[in-house]
Amino acid sequence: DKEPGTEKIHRPIPDGDFEIMPLGEDPSKGIKIGTGLPDLVKRQLEACLKENTELFAWSAAEMPGIDPEVA
């Protein structure tokens, strides 16, 4: 019954403090991770994210075929 485009979009909200983990050479490309993670988990997460950096899209232009409304 709602008008198109009036639906509320729910996005995850970080819980607690976080830090930016850079991925690659460009400092503007980073991921927020919780500061309360145990050291081992943090290192494993960092390794996994850096190993899969090519999976991240930093702009709508890097996601051809996906409706910009979704992005």
Residue 5: predicted pLDDT: 67
**10-24: b or e for each residue (b if 16 or more CB lie within 10 Å)?**
eeeeeeeeeeeeebe
Q: Which pLDDT tens digit goes with each residue over 3-61?
A: 766 777 777 776 789 999 988 788 888 888 989 899 999 999 999 998 998 888 888 78
- Find the DSSP H helices in 1-71: 39-51
Nearest alpha carbon to residue 49 among 27, 32, 64: 32
Residue 68 has pLDDT above 80, yes or no: no
pLDDT at 69 over 80: no
Q: Structure pTM? A: 0.63
Domain boundaries, the chain: 18-62
Predicted pLDDT of residue 44: 95
